Amino acid sequence: MAESQQGPRVSVLFVCLGNICRSPTAEGVVQSLVDKAGLSAFVRLDSAGTNNYHQGEEADPRTRRAAAARGVSITHRARQVVPSDFEQFDLLLALDVNNEAVLLGQAPPAAKASVKLFRSFDPDSPARASVPDPYFGGVEGFEEVLDQCERAGAGLLAELRRVYGF
């Protein structure tokens, strides 16, 4: 989006259902990768949910605990996707196929191409793979979310470097 010399060169919004488990994890994991690569001036990240059940809440304690154990801090407060997100973000990355469908249903025609599945950036993931919702399961689900976000995040960063040249 912003083409100014100082501003971020690319912006990415991660989107799940509640914005308290998967998409804040994706945001936190990728932010950590971006920071380690020294690219925080070039990449702007945020996350949102397609519903508003948890609007304003911190991420699920299980999400924050599992991420913290890997050195990833999650401070995000849940918010719902708003129409301006389709103009503000270069990429809207859905954590699963259901939320991808919701985004595609809401996106104005010009923004549909910016909606993708996050795991499509992991070259080793199956086609059309989702990050499963861990909310109603055990702690192992939160570890799986982190594993999948780390792999997809590495692929995403490699692709952004290639496309944007940083």
By CB under 6 A, which span of 11-19, 31-39, 67-75, 84-92 interacts with ligand 4NP? 11-19
Q: Which 39-58 positions form the footprint of ligand 4NP (CB under 6 A)? A: 53
As measured in angstroms, the least distance from the Cβ of 133 to ligand 4NP is 5
Nearer to ligand 4NP, 99 or 120 (CB): 99
CA pair distance 13, 57, nearest whole angstrom: 18
In whole angstroms, give the CA distance from residue 153 to residue 147: 10
Is the Cβ of residue 135 or residue 166 nearer to ligand 4NP in the bound state?
A: 135
| Residue from 9, 10, 13, 22 binding ligand 4NP (CB under 6 A) | 22
By the rule CB under 6 A, 18 interacts with ligand 4NP = yes
Query: Is residue 133 flagged as an active site residue?
Result: yes
Applying CB under 6 A, the span of 20-28, 29-37, 79-87, 149-157 interacting with ligand 4NP comes to: 20-28
User: Catalytic residue at 147?
Assistant: no
Give the Cα separation of 9 and 124 in Å (integer): 27
Return the number of the residue (8 or 141) whose C-beta is nearest ligand 4NP: 141
Among 12, 13, 17, 107, binds ligand 4NP (CB under 6 A): 17
Write a three-state SS string for the chain: CCCCCCCCCEEEEEEECCCCCHHHHHHHHHHHHHHHCCCCCCEEEEEEECCCCCCCCECCHHHHHHHHCCCCCCCCECCECCCCHHHHCCEEEECCHHHHHHHHHHCCHHHHHHEEEHHHHCCCCCCCCCCCCCCCCCHHHHHHHHHHHHHHHHHHHHHHHHHHCC
Active site residue 21: no
Residue whose beta carbon is closest to ligand 4NP: 18
The site for ligand 4NP (CB under 6 A) is made up of 16-22, 53, 133, 135
